[in-house]
Amino acid sequence: MLSVFDAFRDVTLGTTLFRLLIAILCGMAVGLERSYKNRPAGFRTHVLVSVGACIASLTGLYLYLNMSYPTDMSRIGAQVISGLGFIGAGTIIVTKKNTIKGLTTAAGLWVCGVIGLAAGAGFYEGAILTTLLVLFTEIALGALGLRIQHQPEFQVIIHYKHTSALDKAARYIKDKDIAITNLQITSSNDSDIYVYSAFLHLRPTGNIDKEDLLLQISFIPGIISAEER
């Protein structure tokens, strides 16, 4: 550990203010990056989470060291980590294209809470280093992630008469290096003829022509129609 922080290890009024200040600065650093990118949880949210976790950690220390309560110092901090999951869940949304947004922000809020706990416990080195690593991940690795191109999932509805027709369609899809991530089948009785409908979630590994894919599937014997949902 760094000796420069040794004078701030004990729990006093001065060290309490210092720990809260460290929590504010760390939460501010992460929150500013999120606000700059116009994410759901921004500057103030990250600061509040970090400060709240810090004072929770300090409260656990105070009850044990100053009040001499027979309690576990880490119990309050453990509840903070669990509760942060509910806050992070509020930043996660699913778009109309079935893509998920807000996971990075939710993870950042959770990490900010842990950083606040570390600052409140007097583990300043861990709080500061973690903040720097979070910023590196969100800025440097975020730019790298944008360079990685990937095709989003899409949904297809296939109407068919026989199970063998769906098997042939599934084999054709897999031959095109397209993964079937989900499959649901329903049936209906139309003029004494059973017509089945398959709802497929497809994840391509490269660029594909959706119109040509659906056209080729519709040419398979037993397939009535194939269309994107």
Domain range summary for the chain, segments of one domain joined by +:
3-147, 154-228
| CATH number of this structure's domain 154-228 | 3.30.70.260
CA 199 to chain CA centroid, Å, is: 26
pLDDT at 23: 93
- 148 vs 106, 135, 140, 179, 227, CA distance in Å? 22, 20, 13, 19, 28
Q: What pTM does this model have? A: 0.64
Report the side by side order of strands in the sheet with 193-204: 178-190, 193-204, 154-160, 223-228
* The pLDDT value given to residue 3: 76
**Cβ atoms of 196 and 160 closer than 8 Å:** yes
Tell me the longest C-alpha to C-alpha distance in the chain: 85
One digit per residue, the tens of pLDDT, for the chain of length 229 reads 777 777 777 878 888 999 999 999 999 988 887 777 777 677 788 889 999 999 998 888 888 877 777 767 777 888 888 888 777 777 776 666 556 677 888 888 889 999 999 999 889 999 999 999 988 888 877 666 556 656 677 889 998 888 888 888 999 988 888 888 888 888 776 656 678 888 988 888 777 888 888 888 988 988 888 888 7
Per DSSP, 161 falls in state: S
> What's residue 155's pLDDT?
87
Q: What local confidence, expressed as pLDDT, does residue 189 receive?
A: 66
Containing 111, the helix (H) or strand (E) segment is helix 103-120
Tell which residue, 109, 106, 108, 116, has the closest CA to residue 24. Answer: 116
pLDDT for residue 96: 61
